[in-house]
Amino acid sequence: MTPTPAPVPSDTLRQGSPASPDPLATTRVRRAALAAASAATVALGLAVHFRGEGAAADPAADALYAVLIYLLVALLRPRLHSVLTGALALAFCVAIELFQLTGVPQMLSDITPLARLVFGTTFVPADLLSYAAGVVVIASIDQAFRRNLRHGLNS
């Protein structure tokens, strides 16, 4: 007679699949991590924007903007694949950059400084590279985090 394994709590693992973590548990942990990362990114981005100096400050701020957009997309849709999340974040950043060609962001920033932070003011093609770099870095980090999260909930 073979011994039967101890029962696994249903709130930890998916029904019928003892090797898979509960998607709701991973989503809760992921959302908490994404929210914390978003807050840290805002703080770092504001510090770079207002205190940064030198040639690296502007590209770093742009990359952090793209990181924040990625994190916000992931917060809204935490089960979306990292590549699709990155594509959506990059598309949003490109749309905002192209929106600057209209002059509307400049007019809005004359009304409120917050608009300058959200929309920028002037189209700069190099910003597109900074956005892409930020998205690639955060998507890679996110993919590794998700892999570790899946494996960590199994142990």
Distances (CA, A) of 125 to 49, 55, 62, 96: 19, 15, 12, 12
Look at residue 4 in the predicted model and tell me its pLDDT.
56
pTM of the model: 0.83
Q: Where are the beta strands (DSSP E) in 101-152?
A: none
Residue pair 85/34 in contact by the 8 Å Cβ criterion = no
Residue pair 128/94 in contact by the 8 Å Cβ criterion = yes
C-alpha to C-alpha distance for 38 and 49, rounded to whole angstroms? 16
Look at residue 133 in the predicted model and tell me its pLDDT.
98
Residue pair 135/70 in contact by the 8 Å Cβ criterion = yes
- Identify residue 111 by its one-letter amino acid code: I
Segment 17-48, tens digit of pLDDT: 445 667 777 889 999 999 999 999 999 999 99
88 sits in the region (left: phi over 0; alpha: psi -120 to 50; else beta) called alpha
Q: What is the pLDDT along the chain (155 residues), one digit of tens a residue?
A: 555 555 444 444 444 444 566 777 788 999 999 999 999 999 999 999 999 998 999 999 999 999 999 999 999 999 999 999 999 999 999 999 999 999 999 999 999 989 999 999 999 999 999 999 999 999 999 999 999 988 875 55
